[in-house]
Chains A and B, each alone.
Chain A
Amino acid sequence: MAGAALPTAELTTSGRPILLPNEIECSLLSNVELEPEGSPPLSSSIHLRSSFLILTTHRLIFVSDSSAAAANTASYVPLASVTHIFLLKKSIKSMFGSPRLKVQLSVGSDGRVGGMGTRSIVATLVMRGKDDVEAFVDKFRQNWGARVWEREKESESASSGSSLVVESSASSSGFDSRGMRVVGVAGILRREQEMWESTDKSLQDAFQDLNALMSKAKEMVMLAEKMRLKLLSGPSQAGSSNDEELGSKEEMQDWLLSVGIVSPVTKESAGALYHQQLSRQLADFVKIPLERSGGMINLIDMYCLFNRARGTELISPEDLLRACSLWEKFDVPVMLRKFDSGVMIIQNKSHSDEEVFARIKLLITRPDALQMGVSAGDAAMTLGIAPAMAKEHLLTAESRGLLCRDISPDGFRFYINLFPEIRTDDIYLVKDQGIYATWIKCASSPSRLQ
Chain B
Amino acid sequence: MTDLRDFYQEIILDHYRKPRNFSPLESATCQARGHNPLCGDRVEVYLHIDTGVVREISFQGAGCAISTASASLMTEAVKGMTLVEACALFDSFHDMMTGTGEASDPIDLGKLEALSGVRQIPIRVKCATLAWHTLKAALEESNNNTAASISTE
B is a partner of A: no
